[in-house]
Amino acid sequence: MKNPFSFSSRLSQTYPPPIQSGVKARSEGTTSKEFSEPTKCFGLPLQKLIRPILPFLNQVEDRLKAIANESNGILKESSSYVLSAGGKRLRASLVILCALSTSQGFKRKKAVIDAAVSVELIHAATLVHDDIIDHSVLRRLKPTPNIQFGEEVALLLGDYLYSKAFHLVSTVGDNQLTLEVARTTQSMCEGELDQLKHRYRSDLSLNEYLSFIERKTASLISVCARAGARLAGLPKELEESLANFGLNIGISYQIVDDLLDVIGSEKKCGKSLKNDTGNGKMTLPLILLLASMNENEKKKLRSDFQTTKINWEMIDPLLKEKKIIEQTKNFADDFFAKAMSSLEIFEPSFKKSLQDLSHFIIHRDY
């Protein structure tokens, strides 16, 4: 990928040492402190990874806060409740990192911020709707919107966030990108509906599971990378490479998420765990566990799964004994490796920025 400067030098020229002083200024009470909140809350190791793009991410937070304030009454209250809750902002980071791979991306700063905000709005909307479907009670260490405001308000809030996202991405000035975002959202909905259709199916195949998570989770992460590539003006070949990177790292991300759902800590993850199995959704750890069992064990687990009465005191030791945790991590590693192979054609400093973010994704414990 030929550019007048390397990725790292473009970042340093645009944001020379002020980045550190910017962090200090926020701690003294100026604007855009929201992005640092999850770091304090969860002890994120993300701060070092996102430091070069922190000025962009601060603007994303400011825009999300402004969008919440555009409405009134319960919509304003519920929007602010969701959009000010923080989060890892991985999707926004991916848009920004990919967009800043060329000098053209730096010149389209407003469009980059708009695209990053739009994908975070879509992500927020999906979480609001997912929490309704899954009857979740906790997210980011706070009651979910369906608990805080009721399911009716939460449902309409999700719809509202979707509409704001679509309006915002339409202002970027790239009709193809608008179409890609719309297609991705359609795919996410289809994946969710397909998974709902197959709830309580203890014989769910690995391919069916991968199809669900590719559409529900990975497709949005893929379009984040694609959006950044388009804003950077990259050739089609490089755009597709970044989209493939996003798809595979997105699958890896969801596999890790599904593992954390059964072995993670609610305090660290900041959300209700073991919800998927409680709602009849087969995920990779249980698929692998079933495959390792004898017929009597399978019969017992399938019966418990279908009646949502899984005995976790029995299951947790089996996950370790049968090395299901390691097997699940191996699957995540396989898709991680596919993602890394898509980055081989990029220059080293840009490639490293995405590799570092990817390592965080698969090694996180929340």
List pLDDT tens digits, range 208-243: 999 999 999 999 999 999 999 999 999 999 999 999
Residue 153 within a domain: yes
Q: Where residue 47 falls among pLDDT bands split at 50, 70, 90?
A: confident
Residue 39 has pLDDT above 70, yes or no: no
Higher pLDDT, 177 or 275: 177
pTM for the predicted model, two decimal places: 0.87
Q: How far apart are CA 37 and CA 43, in angstroms?
A: 10
Dist CA 342 CA 244 (whole Å): 7
pLDDT at 266 over 90: no
Q: Residue 320's domain spans which residues?
A: 47-363
Partnered with residue 142 across adjacent β-strands are 139
Task: Give domain status of residue 18, yes or no.
Answer: no
Residue 91 resides in a domain = yes
The pLDDT tens digits for 308-358 are 778 888 899 999 999 999 999 999 999 999 999 999 999 999 999 999 999
The CATH number assigned to the domain holding 193 equals 1.10.600.10
The domain tally of the chain equals: 1
> Is the CB of residue 8 less than 8 Å from the CB of residue 349?
yes
pLDDT of residue 44: 41
Is residue 3, in this structure, part of any structural domain at all? Answer: no
Residue 169 lies in a domain: yes
Beta bridge partners, 138, equal: 143
3-state SS record for 11-68 = HHHHCCCHHHHHHHHHHCCCCCCHHHHHHHHHCCCHHHHHHHHHHHHHHHHHHHHHHH
pLDDT reported for residue 10? 60
Residue 35 maps to a domain:
no
pLDDT for residue 30 is more than 60:
no
Distance CA 247, CA 124 (A): 19
The widest CA-to-CA distance across the chain, in whole angstroms, is 65
Q: What would the pLDDT profile of 126-171 be if each residue is shown by its tens digit?
A: 999 999 998 999 888 899 999 999 999 999 999 999 999 999 999 9
Hey, what are 92's tokens? 């926004």
pLDDT band of 306, cuts 50, 70, 90: confident
